[in-house]
Copies of this chain bind each other. A is one copy, B any other.
Amino acid sequence: MSQDHYTLKDIAKILKLSPSTVSRALRDSHEISDETKRLVLDFATKVNYRANPLARGLKERKSYSIGIVVSEIANNFFSQVIDGIESVAYDKNYQVVISQTNESAERERFHVEHFYSRSMDGLLMAMSSESSDTAYLEGMIKKGMPIVFFDRVPATLQSHRVITDNKRAAYEGVQFLVKKGCKRIALLSSSKKLSNSKERLEGFKLGLISQHLEFDEKLVQYCEYGGLKQSEIDQAINHLAELDYDGIFLSGDKLTTGYLQALRRNVRLAKKPIEIVGFTNSNLVDIFSPGITAIRQSAFEMGKRAAELLIEQIEQRGKETNFKTVVLPVELIEREM
């Protein structure tokens, strides 16, 4: 009861042992007698001893912390991913430190470097839509910082990655639209820089081809910020309004919800109901109006897998790693009648 925080030294003094013995006993070293171990462990439990993580980290060059870099925390998809990450980190005794870039490449770089200098054990990140220069990331990796990318991944880096089967998802989405009778399908897409946008575009095209439909570049609108700004969505929709289309594929979460919101505000568009398929991880699709068919990514699972891979890599301590790309399926949630 005498004090708040016991240190190794304190315990050693009280038990008349040396700090190193206590340290070893606590870490269950084989070179400590069972008797001593018991003594130390019992006492440590009694006073609720906790090693000071700062001291330990300083010594071991390890902080038991992993950093997350995403564009936005308050986002269905990312918050579900973070949920998954947290769930495994918690089990494996790692802290999770978050940061957001708001899609700015500069902020992204700042955070990554900050994490590096904060001696994080590893990083989990989804690229910001603005990012193009990944050279500094390559540098980080060379310096030995384990990074696992998810969802939006850079093209060439030597690292684990966990992604969605975007091509297939888009392909299936188109199949669905065609089955519903659509002949001229529009596409609302994010920045072409993003890996996932590119893959979805590809799947979209393949889907059309497989149905003997022509890909019409005019029916495609790109939103540089992935719909972060409603204005870019409004603009895109206004462009599309000039044309004829009977179905639309929304290639991102914000694009999907932004499109629906635009519909609500724009009578001209609301008049001709069309078939809508869109990526979204909102838990509330079933109460959306108009009803849409949702493509839902395995967000929680993505966080889990990414965190597992990262921690595995961290604990290998720079041993040669066989980098994996985990591809996760989507779920197609059909619009209710």
A interface with B by C-beta (< 8 Å): 4, 50, 52-55, 57-58, 63, 65, 72-76, 79-80, 82-83, 86, 90, 95-100, 117-119, 143, 257, 260-261, 264, 282-284, 286-289, 300, 336
Contacts and interface: CB of A to CB of B under 8 A. Distances in A.
Contact of A98 (B4, B75, B86): B86
User: Counting chain B CB atoms within 10 Å of each CB, which of A53, A55, A282, A289 scores highest?
Assistant: A53
Contact of A96 (B83, B98, B117, B287): B98
Contact of A58 (B52, B76, B80, B257): B52
A75 B282 CA distance: 10
A75 B336 CA distance: 24
Nearest to A72: B83
A286 B75 CA distance: 17
B86 A73 contact: yes
A75 B86 CA distance: 14
A187 to B, nearest CB: 21
A229 to B, nearest CB: 14
24 contacts: A52-B58, A53-B117, A53-B118, A54-B54, A54-B119, A55-B58, A65-B97, A72-B83, A73-B79, A73-B82, A73-B83, A73-B86, A74-B83, A75-B79, A83-B100, A86-B98, A96-B97, A96-B98, A97-B98, A98-B98, A260-B284, A261-B286, A264-B286, A288-B288
A117 B76 CA distance: 32
Contacts of A90: 99
A261 B287 CA distance: 6
Q: List 3 A-B pairs, minimum CB-CB distance, nearest first.
A: A289-B289, A50-B117, A74-B79
B82 A98 contact: yes
Given A76-B74, A79-B79, A118 B95 contact: yes
A300 B297 CA distance: 26
A75 B83 CA distance: 10
A257 B286 CA distance: 10
Given A54-B119, A74-B83, A260-B287, 11 more contacts: A50-B118, A53-B119, A58-B58, A65-B97, A74-B82, A79-B79, A86-B99, A86-B100, A97-B98, A98-B98, A261-B286
A57 B283 CA distance: 41
A58 to B, nearest CB: 4
